[in-house]
Amino acid sequence: MAGYNDMEMMIAVASRELENGSTVGVGTGAPCAAAMLAQKMNAPELVIMFEAGGMSPRLPEMPISVGDSRTFYEAAMAGSMGDTMESCARGFVDYTFLGGAQIDMYGNLNSTVIGDYAKPKVRLPGSGGANDFASFCWRMMVMTPQDKRRFVEKLDFLTTPGWLKGGSSREKSGLPAGTGPYKIITNMAVMDFEPETKRMRVFSLNPGYTFKDVQNNCGFELLQTKKPEETQAPTKEELEILREEVDPYRYVIGR
């Protein structure tokens, strides 16, 4: 179905990754929209967890922050940040969505500074709970526009660990075996990570884009599967639910 924008595409793709009965740690914005869409489409028993402590709420509408009272609405528990992070550390959280100003070929993220740390060009918000989520949740996903300023050869600062230097470096660092970056979802493609090297590779191409388009908007050399699939566009049902039930005020998806 035509007539969707890039944000709607990314949200729909991300929502399909969340299985019924799984747990996901989300922030507000697009990750929350993806989780809400998944609950209404394919994962009615998805457990949504917010950094500030809302555990499995029945979200009446899109919250505007991780501490919004709506994140506690009819929740299984009104906990705290400590409760959420403890759940991650104990291995109870299957998925998380993160973002940042920069990402490298191993899925490491920078949300601290652009430029030199002592004299940065831009001072960014920092980690928040991102480091904990990425360190302990089983599968970390990123939703971000595709461009060379974000996808960089070398981070200005490593805020959040991905596969670190690739290969077995993440596990050797002491982070739990089996955890790590899973999917990178952009307006052009969906990327995963090559199993041995842990380098980012193009798994599927969004309608209207080629591998060359993705590579031209990336600051490092991308791998690709033998024959990248075509990403399924948002369905009519997904768009209707997203626009009418998940984000009717267009806070995230735009107008």
**Helix, strand or coil for residue 21?**
coil
* Sign, Cα dihedral of 210, 211, 215, 218: positive
Instruction: Report the distance separating Cα 158 and Cα 107, nearest Å.
Output: 10
Q: Would you tell me how many other CB atoms lie within 10 Å of the CB of residue 196?
A: 9
At 222 the three-state DSSP class reads coil
H or E element in which residue 133 lies? helix 130-136
Among 24, 33, 39, which Cα is nearest to 62's? 33
Cα Rg of the chain (Å, integer): 17
Annotated active-site residue 51? The verdict is yes
Rounded Cα gap, residues 228 and 121, in angstroms: 37
Alpha-carbon distance of 244 to 67, in angstroms, equals 24
Residues near 33 by Cβ (< 8 Å), separated by ≥ 6? 11, 62, 242, 246, 247, 252, 253
Strand, helix or coil at 204? strand
Q: Cα separations (Å) of 148 from 180, 197, 216?
A: 23, 22, 8
Which residue among 8, 17, 45, 51 is the active-site one?
51
Tokens of 85: 């992070």
DSSP summary character for residue 91: T
Residues annotated as catalytic (active site), given as ranges: 51
